[in-house]
Structure 1
Amino acid sequence: MTIDEIIDFVASLDGVLTLRPGPGDGSPEIAWGDSFFYYSPSGVVPTTTQPFATIVTKNYPGDEKSGLDRPEAYRVNIAAGRELFIRWTGHSPRETDAGVDFAVTDAVLAHPVYGTAGWLAVVNPGPRTGETVYELLRVAYDRARSRHERRADS
């Protein structure tokens, strides 16, 4: 499973805004090469919500546990919500993941920083997690779309 395959899948969903920061677009350099997915049928970056998924290709300050400084390493981050978080990790998002190797590849884990918010993460999805990643991305997309629609109805 490649980064481009994941981006193509998410971008094919109706109303998705995909941001791919790079030189010259005004984004911070640390974000260059990463991808951020929002539900935004207007095509405008929402100011009141976070992306429903991201792909990061490097360590960020305070977020080094996944070891993304290795060649070819990347991590898919998914706002899966509490129910799926518990199903995949076996515990509440409020519990810690002491002893977990967040650098393991092709495994669904709590996000090393945003797990407490119900985010899941997969470093280098492969044969074991590929279909699961697509399913989790679809759920995160559906959740983001539902939130958007509820706000629009308010």
Structure 2
Amino acid sequence: MLSTNHHINFDVTEVELVYKNKIPAKDRLKVASSQAAHDVFRLAWDENLIDLVEEFKIILLAANNTVIGLSHVAKGSTTQCLADPKIVFAICLKSNASAICLAHNHPSGNPCPSETDLQLTAKFCEAARLLDIKVLDHLILTRHGYTSLEDDGLMPSFN
């Protein structure tokens, strides 16, 4: 209960959520496969950094799997990138995303997922399930290709 004591100052920061998609629905790209997701991610990936530092990005999707946005989430070192689920899902909720695709790169050029990659994917899928957001795939990009956890049957079953 708030006190009505006039000697206490109750300054409160107002939080405002704004999302404006300037691309008409009919003109939005559709992600219906790992290749389509890879193509969208590649449009936004800095090819000068793909062999240098790990980055983590997400594609935000509407219920019909059309792209409503792409967001750069984190940039790390040559061997790791810490993607904070709170940031990812704040972006998802702000954009009213129904589904997402995750992606990060391996500067080593090895497209195989690590145990850490699989654990992180499971963590994201569990959190997404609670928010009614689907995690459709997690791609690992290299300069010469990608691995799709969905295509390889490595996405968690509770998704």
TM-score range relative to shorter protein = under 0.3
Q: Which has the larger radius of gyration?
A: 2
The two structures have a TM-score, normalised by structure 1, of: 0.28
